[in-house]
Amino acid sequence: MSQTTALNGAFEGRVVGSISGDFVVPGYQRGYRWGRPEVQRLLEDIQESEGATYYLQPIVVKRLDENRWELVDGQQRLTTLFLILQFIKQTALPSAEVPYTLEYDTRPQSAEFLRAPSAEGSANNIDFFHIFQAWNCIEEWFEGQGIGKTLAAINLYKALSERVKVIWYEAPDYVSSTALFTRLNVGKIPLTDAELVKALVLSRSQNLVAQTDRAQSMAAEWDVIERDLRTPELWAFLTGSPRPEATHISLLLDTLAGGPSGRERPPFHTFETLREQIMDNADEFWNKVVNLHSLVLGWFEDRNLFHKIGYLVATNSRFEDILDLAQGSKKSEFDTKLNVKIQDGLSLSEENLRELSYESSYGRQRISAALLLMNVETIRKQTNSTERYSFRAHATGQWSLEHIHAQNAEELRTGQQWLEWLRLHRDALSSLPNIQEAERVSLEARIDEALPDLNESKFRELELELSPYFVPDEDGTAESNVHTITNLALLDSRDNSALSNSWFEVKRLEVLKRDREGSYIPVCTRNVFLKYYTGERAQQVHYWSMQDRESYLTAIEREIGPYLLGDSAGGVSSRKSSQ
């Protein structure tokens, strides 16, 4: 059975208190298996929803006759809700109504047992045992409310009667119940917002006069959009996330629905919000989806927009916010708005940039944003190139600020860290130009001799002896300003504290090694360790000097200058740093 036909049916949000009729749980389903965690979570979630509409997972049914239903999916939830209502009626609120019944096809007397679970009856079969355990859990939960248990029961009943809803899906007669059940459970394909929207759109489009093939074309377009959005670079560009989603088209649907995002978004908010639009005009609604898909593809294919939008998303701007900037704007106006948003988010003047320090969380955050922007802008400005910054690699990696030259190895505290640090620097000795062969051999021998029985005293002694070779400091300033932006670069961290506390030459060799192995090295980080920014007269490969730092700072200011506060270049309006 195709996904298109499997979900064509009637949908609605239905309050639990309005569910009525006699439900039969067919034999092809497993029995009741919810345990204490699931029952407690359901009770607590309803209680904590505090007056807001709260959606449970879908209930899928097929009509057997006027008031009798085959329960295809959702029997665990519907059974637990039935037990809660029965408990409230029997212990706290005799006037409470339980407007539906449940019967397990393979368990005689199951309807009677559900109305009055007992320890004696729980021994009859495994389903009754789990039902009775759930009943005990419900009782314990209410007892845990203390003197407020009666009020808790009243409030819970009121919630179930007024604001706790399920997505009620009535499958059409021609759909095979077992095939649908298999798809929803064995195949682990849940009824998500996107699935519900798709089913309703296709169902409504089949009713359009003189458009008998419209449902098929919509289904094909849906698949194309989903496939496009699954492109890793496109998905990371739009969301800043490398994580796959069950349905990527949800990004477009959620955006059209609006409302809260993340954990604050109620279940099935998108479907409930869009349902009225789809019911009114499915064709018009679908055109909105197609147009939004075309818009984001246009952004992705435009190198200028790709880099600016990608940077904003990578620095926590929402897709919806970018879309708001684009609404009603010509391309040049949209570009200007993006520039202003980048500047507002960066919120740095040239003076601020120079004063930022790695030692504060604010400084680390601002430096990271500035260096990411430098990398993105460096590639964006290469107008004759097809190269793009990889926001997929950026989203996938664990990016951190790396000190280009570490001040010392004081942060290393364990024997394993000392061993690794000495091995790294021992291997790098052969690349240094300022060491004689005899000195190198002698140093290597002393390191090798110390490694088997290394302690902190020996480590510090060797560190001090190595220092003049890796940190020549003719002007006495190479160790200053270690924590400013002039000594920091973006690098995918490998949780290697020995490398992080290494001197420049060791890091240079490691970056080149990673680059040769195919790791993604941001262009400006690669440039730093290749001394790209340093003038020819000041070139020396193996150390990170004050001249190198000044040249690096000049390059940073050149690349991101149009977005610094007080600079009106590049279409960005001047702003005071206090804004």
pLDDT score for 537: 63
Contacts 24+ apart (CB under 8 A), 535-540: none
- By C-alpha distance, which of 271, 251, 247 is closest to 261? 251
Q: Do 164 and 224 reside in the same domain of the chain?
A: no
pLDDT of residue 466: 84
Q: Along the chain (579 residues), what's the average pLDDT of each consecutive run of 10 residues?
A: 47 89 92 92 90 84 92 94 96 95 94 95 94 96 94 95 90 82 63 83 68 78 94 94 83 93 83 88 94 97 97 95 95 96 95 92 94 97 92 87 77 80 81 82 88 88 83 54 89 67 82 88 92 75 81 95 72 39
Are 308 and 283 part of one and the same domain?
yes
Q: Report the largest interatomic distance among the alpha carbons of the chain, rounded to a whole angstrom.
A: 98
Pair 260, 290 in one domain: yes
Asked whether residue 450 is assigned to any structural domain, the reply reads no
Residue 361 lies in a domain: no
Domain count, the chain: 2
Question: Could you count the other beta carbons within 10 Å of the beta carbon of residue 404?
Answer: 23
Q: Does residue 208 sit within a domain?
A: yes
To the nearest 10°, report the CA torsion of 344, 348, 349, 354: -170
Same domain, 71 and 109: yes
pLDDT in the model for residue 562: 95
Assigned domain for 570 exists? no
In terms of domains, do 172 and 39 share one? yes
Predicted confidence at residue 539, as pLDDT, reads: 61
Domain co-membership, 232 together with 337: yes
Write down the pLDDT at residue 274: 92
Last residue of a domain, one of 304, 324, 345: 345
Q: HEC profile for 446-481?
A: HHHHHHHHCCHHHHHHHHHHHHHHHCCCCCCCCCCC
- Cβ neighbours, 10 Å, residue 495: 8
139 and 31 co-located in one domain: yes
Q: Is residue 263 one of the residues assigned to a domain? A: yes
Asked which of 189, 215, 233 is the last residue of a domain, the reply is: 189
Q: Which helix (H) or strand (E) holds 431?
A: none
Q: Of 155, 189, 223, which one is at a domain's C-terminal end?
A: 189
* Domain assignment of residue 122, given as a range: 3-189
The Cα 397–Cα 232 span in angstroms is 14
Residues 119 and 94 in one domain: yes
Q: Are residues 185 and 211 in the same domain?
A: no
Q: Report how far residue 116's alpha carbon sits from residue 87's, in angstroms, rounded to the nearest whole number.
A: 9
pTM over 0.85: no
Q: Does 95 reside within a domain?
A: yes
Say if residue 48 is in the same domain as residue 181: yes
Considering the domain architecture, whether residues 166 and 297 belong to the same structural domain is answered as no
Same domain, 120 and 153: yes
Residue 235 in domain: yes
Is 62 domain-assigned? yes
